[in-house]
Amino acid sequence: MSQYDVAIIGSGPGGYVAAIRCAQLGMKTAIIEKYDTLGGTCLNVGCIPSKALLDSSHHYEDAVKHFEAHGIEIPGDVKVNLEKMIARKNAVVEQTTKGIDFLMDKNKIDVYHGLGSFKDATHIEIKKDKGKPETIEAKYSIIATGSKPATLPFIKIDKERIITSTEALSLKEIPKHMIVIGGGVIGLELGQVYKRLGSEVTVVEFMDRIIPGMDGALSKELMKVMKKQKVKFNLSHKVKSVERNGDEIVVKADNKKGEEVVFKGDYCLVSVGRRPYTNGLNADAAGVKLDDRGRVEVNGHLQTNVPNIYAIGDVVRGAMLAHKAEEEGTMVAELLAGQKPHIDYNLIPGVVYTWPEVAAVGKTEEELKEAGVEYKVGQFPMRALGRARASMDIDGFVKILADKNTDEVLGVHMIGARCADLITEAVTAMEFRASAEDMARMSHAHPTYAEAVKEAALAATDDRALHI
């Protein structure tokens, strides 16, 4: 029987990063992955493939709608080859997952393919598709089994017409009318992909706004922009049935007045969030407790109730984000090595990869109001930037929330071109407890989108933005 200092169950961003950091710190490390490829949801059917399709569809939309304004004329019709677009996406995924194989090999991490199940707190059985199960022994274990798409109790996902994000990444045709249940990150991103490619897209959302976990100003601005892109929104609608009749999907919902509304399309994307995944883990055998939502219970050090077993990522409490899982994987590895790492969960950024992109870190205005914190607001529109006008990406703004008395930055919320990258400036500033004036005093290259951050900081500091 092979023996290890640490075994990680699950090879998504949390699991594989934990494995690398453990190996770097001198631990004999094993990683167990249920599927044939490493990388988990993120690399195979999540972050990476969705970004590939977002980029491809964005290029198509630019060619059809914007090239002419730039003086680029394309004779004849610009056509979508969905099969080739999906093939490019698959190639990106393959290249990325092979990169994880390389990293495991480089760091001398033993990789096991099969379902990892606890036999007890120090032994894990690996059930393979072919051949006999294998058991390994590990002094420490890290559960990193991730999450799966959630659904509603009355919806039967058939993976053909009634689909989750996984199937939406590999459709064989462009839907005529895609009904998206859920106005969160995943639904909006994939809805925008197919809207660009020619689908009619209708979003049905239970809450009274889209991206409900983010600052209200971002929700309002993103919906305004996506409405201009001809995406239809139905907010405060409670879906009560989803039925398939041949190639037609019928979705019935009650609006806020209690009236029944019927939507008909040829595809329905169910994007109502994700649920922690522990199927086959056999946590009970190790004595590991799960909470009432199926998440592994952990303390502040991500340690379960069994001292030598830890858990990270989507399978524990907190935001289901790949970069949050990576930070947790690093933290557990360093704890096992006797170090004293720390994660500030308030400073884990959130991003929506629509166009314009949406990004945020820290407290929302709603949270500050609820907490009774006195704050000030600085906001600057993207359309006032020379760089934004040059690229014709003028939608959006940057909003900075700062403490009214100390000027410390409490939250940064932005929507616009390249905000997924711009938000890191705010994370860095807030990690060092910067004031709005600190950010305003830093030189920003001209012309850049990042100047909106400086201008918003100036606006938060005695309302002294320069270019508006």
Cα dihedral 250→46→48→224 (10° resolution): 50
- The residues pairing with 269 across neighbouring beta strands, listed in sequence order, are 163, 180
Quote the crossing angle between the two packed helices 47-61 and 82-106, to the nearest 10°.
140
Q: Cβ distance 133 to 127 under 8 Å?
A: yes
Cβ count near 395 (within 10 Å): 19
Q: How many CA atoms lie within 13 A of 395 on its CB side?
A: 20
Contact 331, 14 (CB under 8 A): no
Q: For tokens 């069994």, name the residue.
A: 306
Question: How are beta strands 274-276 and 2-9 bridged, if at all?
Answer: unpaired
Nearby residues of 63 by Cβ (< 8 Å), 6 or more positions away: 74, 78
Q: How far apart are CA 81 and CA 76, in angstroms?
A: 15
Question: DSSP assignment of 175-210, as one string?
Answer: -SEEEEE--SHHHHHHHHHHHHTT-EEEEE-SSSSS
Q: Which whole-number Å values give the CA distances from 367 to 104, 363, 371, 401, in the listed order? A: 41, 6, 6, 11
Taking CA atoms, 294 is separated from 95, 148, 281, 303, 448, in Å, by 33, 12, 12, 16, 45
- Please give the single-letter amino acid code of residue 374: E
> What is the DSSP annotation of 71-98?
T---SS-----HHHHHHHHHHHHHHHHH
Q: Which helix (H) or strand (E) holds 389?
A: helix 386-391
* 446 a catalytic residue: yes
Q: Could you say which of 66, 301, 446, 467 is catalytic?
A: 446
Question: 95 and 43 in contact (C-beta within 8 Å)?
Answer: no
Confirm if 89 and 1 have CB atoms less than 8 A apart.
no
451 is written with which tokens?
Answer: 């100047």
Residues serving a catalytic function are 446
